[in-house]
Amino acid sequence: MRALIYEAPRTISYTEALSVREPADDEVTVRIVASGICHSDLSVLDGTIQWPAPAVLGHEGAGVIEKIGSHVHGLKPGDHVALHTLAYCGHCRHCETGFPTHCRATLGNRSQPFQLNGAPVSNFAATSTFAEITVVKQQQAVKIDPSVPLDVACLIGCGVLTGVGTVINRADVATGDTAAVFGAGGVGLNVIQGLRLAGAARIIAVDLLSSRETMARDFGATDFIDASAVDAVAQIKALLHDPSGPHASGADWAFECSGSGAALRSAVASLGWGGNCLIVGVPAASAMLELPVATMGFVDRGIMGVRYGASRPHRDIPAYLQLYKNGALKLDELVTRRYRLDQYAEAFDDLEHGRLARGVFVF
């Protein structure tokens, strides 16, 4: 079958000779119809995320179930499904209290379900959607309405769950709040539309690429700051000025979506009194953040980590797709371009140089 094989940093190849094992008792085999191309895949390629090679990358997938294991319930061959990365156990205290992103089983669960020329090949993020066929835990496949195009539904699996979920599940955005979103790529755009859904009154998009302004505004941004041309923090504080003093001026919420340490420092500095910053992007593991304590503790500011939008996929995926069908959530507009799998070099170059909100591989 066709697949992309991550071989080493900055090295990936196309093959038609990959094979995948049969599903275990609690797994399903899914024929991938479409896969989103996420910046996290680039982060593996450039070494920001360290992952053993060889491996099949990709983690935003949608397709059709081909086979099911003997203990699988609620799914059958022919079902259309959107995949997510949380291979949670389903019975720990975190799963049973509705926090699957806290489940320890979702960390370090690398396996080797593939083979290439007789040698084992790893999965990635428990999904591996840069392959025609993959196997996942049954809880990772969420049945969806077959009327939803799979080349749109695939985007739910990371960019939408992470971006919209961060606002809805992790933050506590109230109607009328203000927010700054640092990074207007695929995840940032979903944070922006999550803020729009939550009723934020002022949504300021910040990016180094001025070309992203139109799309940011289309998704709900009320303002746009080109951080390559001006001091973004100063601009945010001017837009959200509080006459009581400089410590009060700024955003109620800041979302860092680019994985940049510099952007994270700016996001924290852009907060107003009582504001909170959420770390959404994935920086290098060695990234550090140094802050003056007085500007945090004395004015009730906070910093929050967020994993995968604090998602509850079997609740969130159907809800987001219903919002899409109602016209409240933009998904079609996220897809900048579709590619064949063998066009991977062009697709990754487009993503790396900021030409895409989301690219999609269509099998």
pTM of the model as a whole = 0.95
Q: Which of 225-234, 280-289, 349-358 has the least mean pLDDT?
A: 280-289
User: DSSP label at 122?
Assistant: B
| Interval 144-161 mean pLDDT | 97
Give the model confidence (pLDDT) of 294-339 as tens digits: 888 889 999 999 999 999 999 999 999 999 999 999 999 999 999 9
User: Residue 295: what pLDDT?
Assistant: 85
Residue 265: pLDDT band (50, 70, 90) is: very high
One-letter identity of residue 318? P
Q: What CATH number does domain 3-157+331-362 carry, 3.30.420.40, 3.90.245.10, 3.90.180.10, 3.40.50.1370?
A: 3.90.180.10
- 84 pLDDT exceeds 90? yes
| DSSP letter string, 125-178 | TTT--SBSEEEEEGGGEEE--TTS-HHHHGGGGTHHHHHHHIIIIIS-PPTT-E
Task: Give residue 78's Cα distance to chain centre.
Answer: 27
pLDDT of residue 298: 84
Q: Which helix (H) or strand (E) holds 39?
A: helix 39-45
What 3-state class would DSSP assign to 48? coil
For 205-226, the pLDDT digits (tens) are 999 999 999 999 999 999 999 9
**Identical fold, 3-157+331-362 and 163-308:** no
Structure-token pair, residue 22: 């049969």
Task: Note the pLDDT of residue 95.
Answer: 96
pLDDT average, residue stretch 31-59:
94
**Residue 141 banded pLDDT, cuts 50, 70, 90:** very high
Longest Cα–Cα distance of the chain, Å, equals: 69
Residue 39's nearest CA partner among 199, 217, 184 is: 184
Query: Structure tokens of 258?
Result: 């680019």
Question: What confidence score (pLDDT) does residue 233 get?
Answer: 97
- Judged against a pLDDT cut of 80, whether residue 136 lies above it is answered with yes
What is the homologous superfamily of the domain 163-308 according to CATH? NAD(P)-binding Rossmann-like Domain (3.40.50.720)
Mean of pLDDT over the chain? 96
Burial (Cβ within 10 Å: 0-12, 13-18, ≥19) of residue 31:
middle
Domain spans, the chain: 3-157+331-362, 163-308
CB 54 within 8 A of CB 121: yes
pLDDT at 282: 87
Alpha carbon separation from 34 to 158, 169, 233 (Å, rounded): 13, 27, 39
Q: Which residues contact 261 (CB under 8 A, 6 or more apart)?
A: 283, 287, 288, 289
pLDDT at 179: 98
Phi and psi torsions of 316, nearest 5°: -75, -45
Q: What is the pLDDT of residue 284?
A: 79
- Closest listed residue to residue 80, CA positions, set 162, 5, 148, 126: 148
**DSSP letters spanning 234-294:** HHHHHHT--TT-TTT-SEEEEEE-S--HHHHHHHHHTEEEEEEEEE-S---TT------TH
High-pLDDT (> 90) share of the chain, %: 91
Q: What one-character-per-residue DSSP string does 209-250 give?
A: -GGGHHHHHHHT-SEEEETTTS-HHHHHHHHT--TT-TTT-S
Mean pLDDT of 184-195: 97
Across the range 77-84, mean pLDDT stands at 98
